[in-house]
A and B are shown apart, each in its own frame.
Chain A
Amino acid sequence: MNSSIDPHFALVVKKDCETCRLIESILPILLGKYAGTLRVYVQDDPEFPGNVDDRIDDTQLAFSYQHDIEVVPTLIRFHDDEEVARIFGWDREQWRQFLKIPDLGESLPVFKPGCGSKTRDPGMEAILSVKYGNTGRNTRKVDIADTEDIMEACYERGWTDGLPVVPPTPVRVASMLAATHRQADEVIGDIPPDYAPCTIEKAAINAVLAGCKPEYFQVVLAAIAGALQEPFCLHGLLCTTYFSSPVIIVNGPAARKIGMNSGINAFGQGNRANATIGRSLQLLVQNVGGGRPGGIDRATLGTPGKYSFCFSEDESDSDWPSLAMDRGYQRNESVVSLFAGSGVQPVMDQQSRTPQSLARSLAASLRTVSHTKVFMQTDALLVLSPEHRRVFRQGGWSKSEVKAAIYEALLTPGAELVRGAQGIAEGALEQFGDKQLNKFREDGLHILTAGGTAGFFSAIIPGWVASGERGSQLVSQLINNN
């Protein structure tokens, strides 16, 4: 048996298919007419079909993969080694015309559908693409001896963030790459601080390391693209002595489709999509970009959010615009936003039942972002819980009214804020002493909603002390479907 000659006809079958067994009886007729030019490829049992001498063992599925067989039986006609037509399943009239045998299969039923090709069995696509695909990949392969502990091997090579990673086997990476139509060797951009080119494949490998499922990959790619937007200032952010690191917020149908958590414990552990999407960006910056704590990353203290800080927004209230809508997107668009966040600052207010009181309450807490006397330096996210949002809704306040009230409550005479005021050396420059100052620049406070339905607790995610054009700004990126 050999498959070195392309036949004029190729018939692909498997024994574990009733339709393939049905047509077994007519095969001698086909071979009688097309002797030497029809090859039969079998996907499972090399002894099937028993009445065909010239059958080819395709149990390794090479021919089936190369010819993209979806259904068995499939009958392909070639001309000069190029495929010109194919039929599949059993349709008596179709087979008669295709093979020009007018009375073929007289005793057989008129029609019987085929079965799935073995190349379509679960997980086979990734395995076969690694084995036979022309993937355009040229990533270095690292061989880990079986005597080595594979998890330790990943640690020893510096690939982890301190927690174990998922070993990036070719099959796992192929499965991740199958989630996009983009080519594996397409360059997404250059990752700081080394400005190393990052291909779709390198992104896939780090997504595998992080523990992502392939269905998260489009969100990961959007997060990377967002992080590389110039206003986000990724290079400065990863170097800073301050606490900040990328916080990823996902809006739109994609978040629900992959089961992200916008409810109970939204910032915390327990949801694979939340945990691994955030983690993949951090691992990419470390592994591809070369940004490591103690190296270029000089954070004084950092935050646990540097392992991963990613969540989706609660969009259940159709009267409340989402973060993405504030940024100009439609509610039905899937968007990822990135913010240089510095941890979580809890805000408790269990007493306010009027929007006025709650807005002042939130403003009082927002005053402490980075420092109570430092104004216009640091952006912030305000994440309202459902119970707090209800206070505003019942009070008839829109999101923009909430924001306006907060800004008004934070307006402060510069004299109280200048360096030395209140016996505190830190503070605003003397030149602002006679001005009224806003805590946040105009685009410096973003309001969104998340969290469980119980709890009069909202959260501030303070930003980076270099916010705005001189540092980092919140950026948004559409999530592609290709």
Chain B
Amino acid sequence: MSTTLLDPTSERQPATRQLNDRLTTLTGKTIGLLDISKPRGKEFLDEVEKQLGDQGARVMRYSKPTFTRVAPTELSQQISIECDAVIEGLAD
């Protein structure tokens, strides 16, 4: 005998996405840096940009309007078109 309960969860498995192949080199690659608009984020990413450049990468900079909300879809799409990889980050 058993008791039936109704599932309170969304019942969804998270979508399994195929990961892109990892970059094997930074030379000649375009890396996007997405600033989430936390204080001093620019300073931090400036340093990251310099180090990536030293390793032969080309860097493009982006920022989203606020850290409290996900990046606008158009921005995500733009980054995916223009870059080979992306680093999203903050400071604080």
Contact = CB atoms under 8 A, between A and B. Distances in A.
Of B10, B12, B65, B69, the most chain A CB neighbours within 10 A belong to: B10
Contact size range, B: 10 to 19
Interface in B59-90: 65-70
Contact of B10 (A170, A202, A470, A472): A202
A412 B86 CA distance: 42
A279 interface: no
Contact of B4 (A169, A205, A235, A283): A169
B5 interface: yes
B24 interface: no
Contacts of B68: 233, 235-237, 240, 466, 470-472
A141 B6 contact: yes
Contact of B1 (A146, A194, A197): A146
B2 A169 contact: no
B3 interface: yes
B21 interface: no
Contacts of B9: 159, 287-288
B91 to A, nearest CB: 13
Contacts of A154: 5
B3 A140 contact: no
A159 B11 CA distance: 12
Interface string B1-33: 111111111111010000000000000000000
A141 B12 contact: no
Interface string A327-370: 00000000000000000000000000000000000000000000
Contact of B5 (A142, A290, A466): A142
A283 B8 contact: yes
Given A159-B9, A194-B10, A290-B10, A150 B3 contact: yes
Contacts of B70: 235
B90 to A, nearest CB: 11
Given A141-B5, A143-B3, A167-B5, A466 B10 contact: no
Of B1, B11, B14, B68, the most chain A CB neighbours within 10 A belong to: B68
Nearest to B65: A470
A466 B67 contact: yes
A40 interface: no
Given A235-B70, A236-B69, A472-B68, A143 B4 contact: yes
A236 B65 CA distance: 13
A290 B11 CA distance: 10
A206 B66 contact: no
Contacts of A237: 68
A197 B11 CA distance: 10
A68 to B, nearest CB: 25
A167 B8 contact: no
A142 B4 contact: yes
Main SS class of interface, B:
loop
A237 to B, nearest CB: 8
Nearest to B10: A196
Contacts of A143: 2-5
A211 interface: no
A2 to B, nearest CB: 29
A361 B6 CA distance: 51
Given A466-B67, A466-B68, A288 B5 contact: no
A159 B8 contact: yes
A163 interface: no
A170 B4 contact: yes
Contact of B7 (A142, A169, A283, A289): A142
Interface string A191-213: 10010111001100110010000
B3 A173 contact: no
B11 A140 contact: yes
Contacts of A233: 68-69
Contacts of A454: none
Nearest to A465: B68
B3 A205 contact: no
A169 B12 CA distance: 21
B67 A236 contact: yes
A144 interface: yes
A205 B8 CA distance: 6
A173 B66 contact: no
B8 A202 contact: yes
Contacts of B7: 139-142, 205
B10 A139 contact: no
A233 B9 CA distance: 22
A168 interface: yes
Nearest to B69: A236
A420 to B, nearest CB: 15
A201 B8 CA distance: 9
B2 A194 contact: no
B57 to A, nearest CB: 29
Contacts of A196: 10, 12
Given A139-B7, A168-B8, 18 more contacts: A141-B4, A142-B6, A143-B3, A143-B5, A154-B5, A159-B8, A167-B3, A169-B5, A169-B6, A170-B4, A194-B12, A198-B10, A233-B69, A236-B66, A236-B67, A466-B67, A466-B68, A470-B66
6 contacts: A168-B5, A169-B6, A191-B10, A194-B12, A235-B69, A236-B69
